[in-house]
């Protein structure tokens, strides 16, 4: 790591301290560092299991809860653990339409992952483009782009997403678009911040003095050195996107009821909050919470490992 900050606060430039470390060994170091936190390892395992059951939902669940032909009104409001007319146990009970809650949750979780990951990836790309453009070209371009980004950052993402979804209408693609517009600014800010520091360094100056095209300098020389902090932002933003989608769907402006979504499931369960049918809202919420917290804990650990102050 060039330019580390020692705890005392004085910047000590360590001129290319360890240029011999290969990419593979750095990755190994990262993993051994990451693995020293049991919480982070457990979180990673939890995410892996949840991703497996949700993307494999059609194969691991007893029914497709969003196919009306599979639903039987006689099965409505079965308590968790009851055996329904399908002959299998409803471990988390059924809802008012006789839908197996566990299956519905896995399908909803799949939507969460799809939305979180696509929104995160797209926002990352847009953010990098905006941030790099601003940092590399400077001047008026930089001033304009970063002012827009700053203004957007001062507004809470939930509000922006709410308004955009209201304008775009309901649906998975619309939600993803709204989340990208609401979240790219975080990536742009981070990219711009790191890139402005890197831009002033000698290796960029050297690359620019060669006849390499601008895009090559940007992508092959500047971008790799900007990426590490972006990984942290990305994990946090994927978790935020999942929580935002659930919130929007809960408020009734997110996904239509025909689409599986944890937010809609909770919103449906919320109607029965004054009865003893609490399984309708508790379980989808628990899955949502575990997913979001696990992703955040992994992000926290990655931040800790990548922080130059914690490097040996």
Partner 1 sequence: MLGYLIRRLAQAAVVVLAMSVIVFVGVYAIGNPIDVLIDPGATQEIREKLIAQYGLDQPLWRQYFTFIANVAQGDMGTSMVYNIPVVDLVFSRLPATLELVFVSVCIATLIGIPAGLYAGYRPNGVAAKLIMALSVLGFSVPTFWIGMLLIMAFAVNLGILPSGGRGDVGSFLGINTSLATLDGWSHVILPAINLSLFKMGLLIRLTRAGMVEAMRTDYVRFARAQGLTEREIVFSHVLRNISIPIVTVFGLELGSTLAFAVVTESVFTWPGVGKLIIDSILQLDRPVMVTYLVLVVILFVLINLTVDLIYARLDPRVRLKGGS
Binding-residue total with partner 1 (CB under 8 A):
41
Distance between CA 238 and CA 221 in Å, rounded?
26
Radius of gyration of the chain (CA): 23
Contact status: 134 vs partner 1 (CB under 8 A): no
Task: Please give the residues from 263 up to 282 whose contact with partner 1 meets the rule CB under 8 A.
Answer: 266, 270, 273-274, 278, 281-282
Residue 297 or residue 305: which is nearer to partner 1 going by CB?
297
Contact status: 127 vs partner 1 (CB under 8 A): no
Instruction: Write the binding mask 204 to 243 for partner 1: x where contact by CB under 8 A, - elsewhere.
Output: -----------------------------------x---x
Binding segment toward partner 1, per CB under 8 A, in 26-34, 84-92, 125-133, 137-145: 137-145
C-beta pairs of 1-7 under 8 Å, 24+ apart in sequence? 1/308, 1/311, 2/201, 3/197, 3/308, 4/308, 4/309, 4/311, 5/308, 5/309, 6/309, 7/309
Contact status: 143 vs partner 1 (CB under 8 A): yes
Contact status: 184 vs partner 1 (CB under 8 A): no
Find the shortest distance in angstroms from Cβ 56 to partner 1: 25
Find the shortest distance in angstroms from Cβ 161 to partner 1: 11
Instruction: Return the residue of 51, 163, 257, 306 that touches partner 1, per CB under 8 A.
Output: 163
Residue 123 or residue 243: which is nearer to partner 1 going by CB?
243
Find the shortest distance in angstroms from Cβ 49 to partner 1: 19
Find the shortest distance in angstroms from Cβ 111 to partner 1: 15
Contact status: 285 vs partner 1 (CB under 8 A): yes
Find the shortest distance in angstroms from Cβ 122 to partner 1: 20
Contact status: 36 vs partner 1 (CB under 8 A): no
Contact status: 12 vs partner 1 (CB under 8 A): no
CB 73 within 8 A of CB 98: yes
Distance between CA 227 and CA 238 in Å, rounded?
16
Contact status: 29 vs partner 1 (CB under 8 A): no
Q: Which residues make up the interface to partner 1 (CB under 8 A)?
A: 7, 139-140, 143, 147, 150-151, 154-156, 158-159, 162-164, 166-167, 169, 239, 243, 246-247, 250-253, 266, 270, 273-274, 278, 281-282, 285, 288-289, 292-293, 296-297, 300
């Amino acid at each position: 790591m060039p330019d580390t900050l020692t705890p005392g606060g004085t910047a000590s430039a360590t001129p290319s301290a360890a240029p011999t470390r290969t990419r593979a060994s750095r990755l190994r170091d990262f993993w051994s560092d990451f693995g020293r936190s049991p919480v982070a390892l457990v979180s990673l395992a939890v995410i892996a299991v949840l991703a497996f059951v949700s993307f494999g939902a059609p194969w691991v669940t007893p029914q497709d809860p969003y196919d009306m032909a599979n639903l039987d009104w006689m099965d409505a409001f079965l308590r968790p653990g009851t055996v329904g007319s399908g002959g299998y146990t409803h471990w988390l009970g059924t809802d008012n339409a006789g839908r197996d809650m566990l299956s519905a949750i896995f399908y909803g979780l799949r939507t969460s992952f799809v939305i979180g990951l696509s929104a995160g990836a797209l926002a990352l790309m847009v953010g990098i483009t905006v941030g790099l453009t601003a940092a590399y070209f400077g001047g008026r371009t930089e001033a304009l782009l970063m002012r827009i980004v700053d203004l957007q950052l001062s507004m809470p993402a939930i509000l922006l997403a709410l308004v955009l979804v209201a304008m775009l209408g309901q649906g998975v693609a619309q939600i993803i678009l709204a989340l990208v517009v609401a979240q790219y600014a975080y990536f742009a800010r981070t990219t711009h911040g790191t890139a402005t520091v890197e831009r002033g360094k000698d290796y960029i100056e050297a690359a620019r003095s060669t006849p390499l095209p601008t895009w090559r300098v940007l992508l092959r020389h500047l971008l790799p050195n900007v990426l590490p902090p972006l990984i942290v932002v990305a994990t946090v933003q994927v978790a935020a996107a999942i929580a935002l989608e659930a919130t929007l769907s809960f408020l009734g402006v997110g996904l239509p009821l025909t689409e599986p979504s944890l937010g809609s499931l909770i919103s449906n369960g919320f109607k029965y909050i004054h009865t003893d049918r609490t399984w309708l809202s508790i379980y989808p919420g628990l899955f949502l919470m575990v997913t979001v917290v696990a992703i955040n804990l992994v992000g926290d650990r990655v931040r800790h490992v990548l922080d130059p102050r914690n490097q040996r």
